A and B are shown apart, each in its own frame.
Chain A
């Protein structure tokens, strides 16, 4: 059984610019997976290759077990794609546009009509069904563009910065539509906004300079499972001394220090194969007063910054 989306060792260059380098990832049906990275990290190129718009220079690309670049275009029937710029025809009415997309997906007249009515209901477009797309607000245009991506019931949805440029209310609406559209489908959702990924995705791939630098599962609260971290709060000990003390312990790396009144708070990353919490407590108690030792799960922001920082790059599966 093939994963719905499968990339293996994919590379792509534009002249001397290496846009993707040895990228491998897979997404199963039923998942909404985020593609997070700064601008120019290769998110759009990844989605363009998956949609069949671009050819990879090397590597294997399969969508539902088929190559999206093949001329037979069988795989493309199974892909719904929403590029970064909503691909709508301003001169056409909403129903005319959806009818065109349904026809291009090979649906006959009866199926087209049914799909259009379903899309108008699903995306709350009934009130603008006969309006020219060029006269619609940005939020409505985005809904129309999202509706076209789901016409013909594709198994895979590729969404490139789908909430970009929307106001907060529109963002919430579109997120909700994506959540509903994602049911039973494999969705790859790219964004450079962490809160969008956290709000929508169960897993995230972090790209940087065309490389996959991290992959993590996300829980609903926006925290990511990963290497354990603890916050150590102590008093009666100078911040510098506490930092040196903790940094000298085996399996402990100090990643942040804050002074709060008389107390010092150190955030420490613990290595996965040891549990140095007892050693931390013992060391602090010996030189000062321990106020708290609190386990902290790393946030997506911690993981992202860790992954894209030049000195802390890690590749994790």
Chain B
């Protein structure tokens, strides 16, 4: 546990010793606050579904910026050689880095909770779906982060890592579009099942059904297992 915490502390210290984490947090809070205010005061939408939708789109843009440096920077600066020769397991390294990025994202989402205050002041919102919606968006963002950590472990260039992460997330978001091409029934079902956009509708409504949770848990687990394998390849 001491070793795992050492990685976690180091990662958090690195995030908050550079302007990137602060810039990402502020941009996310400002933009999501703007969208929420617009919906509340101009569209008169007194619910969080639209806000969660906007947050999901923002997460696609922002999470690759959180994860791009995770391994790519270590590979470029040569510190990965130290990391892989310290008495740490590859799993501890991957989980420590992943959890640190998750904490940054949770802080980012927690900052948007101030939006609930006007809802409580001017209306009587049902807090169940709001809480469920936050959990759902967190789950969606966690899957994005896991993909970002995997892609970062395959690159030595942070910009390339961010661009490829965006590409993978967007492809997985729209993969169900191919289902409209009158493909084989099984393939159509598979593409629909793989699509983020099909599953995320439930998430932003605060509905966490078993299939959706299993889907996102599988994406996260698969990405992290592949990241561990990618680190093992470096020992070859």
Q: What is the interface of chain A, defined by CB distance below 8 A to chain B?
A: 48, 51-55, 69, 71, 73-74, 76-77, 79, 81, 83, 85-92, 96, 99-108, 132, 148
Contact = CB atoms under 8 A, between A and B. Distances in A.
Interface stretch (B8-16, B51-59, B207-215): B8-16
A89 B14 contact: yes
Contacts, number: 88
Given A53-B84, A100-B10, A89 B2 contact: no
Contacts of A88: 79
A311 B235 CA distance: 36
B85 A81 contact: yes
B82 interface: yes
A74 B14 CA distance: 28
Chain B interface SS verdict (over half):
helix
B81 A83 contact: yes
Nearest to B7: A104
B85 A108 contact: no
A76 B5 CA distance: 18
B236 to A, nearest CB: 6
B78 A92 contact: no
A53 B2 contact: no
A138 B9 CA distance: 26
A81 B7 CA distance: 18
A104 B13 contact: no
Interface stretch (B35-43, B86-94, B158-166, B169-177): B86-94
Most buried by B among A71, A88, A101, A106: A106
B3 A106 contact: yes
Judged by DSSP, the binding face of A is loop
A53 B79 contact: no
Contact of B82 (A69, A71, A148): A148
Interface in B50-105: 77-79, 81-89
A73 B3 CA distance: 12
Contacts of A54: 235-236
A83 B3 contact: no
B18 A73 contact: no
Given A87-B78, A100-B6, A69 B85 contact: no
Given A83-B78, A87-B82, A103 B14 contact: no
B186 interface: no
Contacts of A103: 2-3, 5-6, 9-10
Contacts of B83: 87
Given A69-B235, A83-B78, A89-B79, A104 B85 contact: no
Interface string B1-37: 0110111011001100110000000000000000000
Contacts of B235: 52-55, 69
A104 B78 contact: no
A100 B9 contact: yes
22 contacts: A51-B85, A53-B85, A53-B235, A55-B236, A73-B88, A74-B87, A76-B85, A79-B85, A81-B85, A87-B77, A87-B81, A89-B77, A91-B13, A92-B10, A92-B13, A100-B7, A101-B86, A103-B2, A103-B3, A103-B5, A103-B10, A106-B3
